[in-house]
Structure 1
Amino acid sequence: MNEFMKITERKSNSTESIDETICSDRIANSSVYNSPAWPPDSWLFCFLIALKIVVMAFIIIAALFGNLLVIVSVMRHRKLRVITNYFVVSLALADMLVAIWAMCFNFSVEISGGRWIFGYFMCDVWNSLDVYFSTASILHLCCISVDRYYAIVQPLDYPLIMTNVRLVLMLAVVWCSPGLLSFLPIFMEWYTTSDHLEFRKKNPHICTFTVNRIYSVISSSVSFWVPGMVMIFMYYRIYMEADRQERMLYRSKVAAALLNKHLQINGISAGLSSLRQSVDEGLVSEDKAAAAEAVATDPGSSSKMKRERKAARTLGIIVSAFLACWLPFFLWYVISALCGYRSCYSPPWVVTLVFWVGYFNSALNPLIYAYFNREFRVAFKKTLENCCEASSYLVCRKYSIGRDPPITCSNASSELHGNNYLRAEAIVQRFSNLSEQEVINLRQSEACI
């Protein structure tokens, strides 16, 4: 009897650990076990599945093309080639890789009903790349905030602080350090428990990312909590310093303009008392005019301050979007690992939501640059116009080669087309010994000018 009780106790303990592992596996990836409350053949179920696929595909496409637009715009426009935008280009590259390696694999799991079709080894590769590129993207945002801090708080020392060597060093740290958090512990199997490893070997068609408590605390601190606190602190200092500099610049320019104006009116030998009285009387009515005159006297410093303010505002919006996108995921990530996946159960749709809201941050950064930064907005517009012109030219050329003459491939007026066609006919009459194909090619080339 005692022997039977010991066997039963040992069996219940092992069953509890296996149940905890399976439960954690069911929560770690939302599409492993889908148990909808409605029948699979209902119209609501089909609508939600279609909506999920459309939203995920939209996020992937927006992240790919939006970040590609950032890279091409900076490469094509010399005005954007500053140190801060090199961080932006590197961030865009990291977000593109998030879309390619993290989102696409997750999307394949979602549309296949939770089944992993790429094998045991590729499961570790996917988890490693997901952690790697997501961490790299967050660290880039941290570097951008530090760069903006020195540019605004210490503008005179900024060229000495942020040199090309330091830029390369920071980018090297940003791209190399996530490997110690992703590839090393995942392939060495330090990130999870032994029960989960046994479960994975028996179920290679299920790819989940179940972590132990130590790895969850370390990885979330390096990937989110520490960079997030640094960004919040840097932005707070940037905002306070930018506000202080703007107020000091405004007051100094207004005082200088008022002093100059009243000295001209009252004469250079005017007394300080009369000058102070005149300033007090006319300060309210002449405040705006003096501010405009101050800006006109030194447009360089004022425009530079405006650019720094816009950069600080853009940084604040980026940080706010970053926190709104990634905070739900990392809260779920840490709470589930510390509390236990069995005790702190989350529905599958909640896990899918926090994953893809975090992924959405990679597609959101180019939109923030385009909307809140005028230089990027102008560069994006020019880049898209050039792409449209190149596409229309290729379509026009293909259309002109595939059809018989005469054709019209230009957007110019009909009078211009008539003149071009008459000129072609004159050339044909002058050289009457041309072959038929040469005449056709000549007329087509004149029609497309």
Structure 2
Amino acid sequence: MVENETLLRTAQQTGQQEQSPLIWAVPFLYILMIITVAGNLLVLLAILLNEHLRKSRAKRFLVNLAVADMCVGFFVMIPAIHVIEANGVWEWGWQSCLVWVTLDVGFSTASIYSLIGVSIDRFYALYFPIRYFNNRKNTLTTNALMLMAWLMAIVVAFPMFITAKGFSNWIPSVEENSRHECIPPVEPESKGYVMYASTLAFMIPSAILIYVVVQFTHRMRQRLDLKIERAREAVVDVSPSEVTAASKRITPMGSSAARMQQGLSTAEPSQSMEMEEGQMLPGYQEAMQNVERSDNDTLRKNHKNKNKRMTPTERKLKKAIREQTKITLMMGSIVITFLICWTPFIVMFTSFPFMPEFWSSDDGIWINIITWIGYTNSSLNPCIYAIMNPVMRKAMLNVLNLETFRQKM
């Protein structure tokens, strides 16, 4: 009896010692998983239930991205949290390990290539807005890019099952170690697959996305410079006669103010100095304000007359370009977030076969942290939609039935 109690106490102490050092983070990881699934589901419903968003080419890519991210949250994050709770032990057999890792690699790759599809669409809309506007109902290219994301997921994930010397030794490794851990093919015998997957799933997409972000920044700077130039032209277009006519239409006090101004120019230096110190004649400041307001009204009327001369098609195109600019800014934020979240994982995954002792020396702490930083990217995308795109934010609030409450606030 005493011997049994001793064995039980020893087992309990061993279990406490073997508790995962990241067990404290489990509640936060569950919250992150819920945000990922619910947030991307909300994006899907917001687009699918809104006819205007549903017909948009750009929003179709967001649907593809939201599906991939939601699958990461449901099929990948939940088992990953359970592994942390079980101190890194995979408890469901080697067959389920193969399925889980395949889904992990596949859905993450689909999410990455969905970003590439979005970026290509934004690049086209930003550099060729008229052609994009005219072909907005042509969904052939859009559907092809969406399909490409899932085909690339298959191309990257399924070569893991090829057992070849120097390329992948994953299946024998999983069969041998499935009772202890479930990891992708990152052992030294799988260097070929690691380089293959990291190149297709991370390095090439990252290079494309970095190039697109640079082009986004360059194009947005060009548009800003153009707006500044047009604003200067609008000021120059106001002739002196228009300003003089505007000043004559002010109140009688304004005419007396003009005489005051003329009187100031002929006044003695001592009198002028006194007025500069604040001793203005009655009504002078108010008259000058009336002149400024009249000039501003003239500028605004001039600008409105220019807008009235635009044809309906030109106004529609201008509105479309403005909307595309907002979407482009949002997509630039999404791409930058992706690079921040996944770059540490790229470095870790690529170095695994070449530095196995280094990565096995920390009991998996940094491996889990870096992996979850990558997963966090799937949680942040819906937040970026809601913050940066007013149309998406309104559609998401409508799904939650909060739009009426927001209007009352």
Whether the TM-score (by the shorter chain) exceeds 0.5 is: yes
Separation in 2, partners of 1:296, 1:79: 31
- How many residue pairs get aligned? The number is 333
1:166 aligns with 2:141: yes
1:88 aligns with 2:62: yes
- Give the aligned partner of residue 182 of structure 1: 157
AA of the residue aligned to 1:78: E
Deviation at 1:192, TM superposition (A): 7.5
Long gaps (5+) in structure 2:
1-12, 246-293, 308-314
AA of the residue aligned to 1:340: M
Separation in 1, partners of 2:370, 2:300: 49
Q: Indicate the percent of aligned positions where both proteins have the same amino acid.
A: 25
Separation in 1, partners of 2:227, 2:22: 55
- Give the aligned partner of residue 3 of structure 2: none
- Give the aligned partner of residue 388 of structure 2: 372
SS in 2 for 1:342: helix
* Mapping 1:152-301, distance limit 5 Å: 152-159=126-133, 163-183=138-158, 185-190=159-164, 197-205=171-179, 206-211=181-186, 212-252=190-230, 254-256=232-234, 258-259=236-237, 261-262=239-240, 264=242, 290=299, 294=303, 297-298=306-307
Residue-by-residue CA offset, 1:190-229 (whole Å, 9 max, x unaligned): 5977776544333332322233222111211111111111
SS in 1 for 2:400: helix
SS in 2 for 1:207: coil
1:308 aligns with 2:308: no
Separation in 1, partners of 2:58, 2:162: 36
Instruction: Provide closer, same or farther for how the CA distance between residues 176 and 198 of structure 1 changes in structure 2, counting only shifts above 3 A.
Output: closer
1:105 aligns with 2:83: no
Separation in 2, partners of 1:235, 1:323: 11
Separation in 1, partners of 2:81, 2:165: 24
Separation in 1, partners of 2:374, 2:237: 55
Match of 2:355 among 337, 340, 353: 340
SS in 1 for 2:142: helix
Separation in 2, partners of 1:190, 1:287: 76
Separation in 1, partners of 2:22, 2:348: 23
- 8 Å CA contact 1:142, 1:228 repeated in 2: no
Instruction: Provide closer, same or farther for how the CA distance between residues 154 and 77 of structure 1 changes in structure 2, counting only shifts above 3 A.
Output: same
Instruction: State the TM-score, normalizing by the size of structure 1.
Output: 0.66
Separation in 2, partners of 1:295, 1:320: 38
* Mapping 1:138-149, distance limit 5 Å: 138-149=112-123
Instruction: Provide closer, same or farther for how the CA distance between residues 202 and 345 of structure 1 changes in structure 2, counting only shifts above 3 A.
Output: closer
Separation in 1, partners of 2:398, 2:203: 38
Range with greater deviation from structure 2 (314-323 or 364-373): 314-323
Match of 2:336 among 309, 320, 335: 320
Separation in 2, partners of 1:195, 1:253: 64
- 8 Å CA contact 1:253, 1:295 repeated in 2: no
Instruction: Provide closer, same or farther for how the CA distance between residues 311 and 172 of structure 1 changes in structure 2, counting only shifts above 3 A.
Output: same
1:350 aligns with 2:324: no
Deviation at 1:150, TM superposition (A): 0.9
Instruction: State the TM-score, normalizing by the size of structure 2.
Output: 0.71
Separation in 1, partners of 2:20, 2:361: 23
- Give the aligned partner of residue 30 of structure 2: 57
Separation in 1, partners of 2:227, 2:370: 44
Residue-by-residue CA offset, 1:17-65 (whole Å, 9 max, x unaligned): xxxxxxxxxxxxxxxxxxxxx99759xx79952x311121011100100
Separation in 2, partners of 1:238, 1:194: 39
- 8 Å CA contact 2:163, 2:169 repeated in 1: no
Separation in 2, partners of 1:192, 1:388: 61
1:359 aligns with 2:368: no
Instruction: Provide closer, same or farther for how the CA distance between residues 344 and 73 of structure 1 changes in structure 2, counting only shifts above 3 A.
Output: closer
Separation in 2, partners of 1:132, 1:361: 15
SS in 1 for 2:48: helix
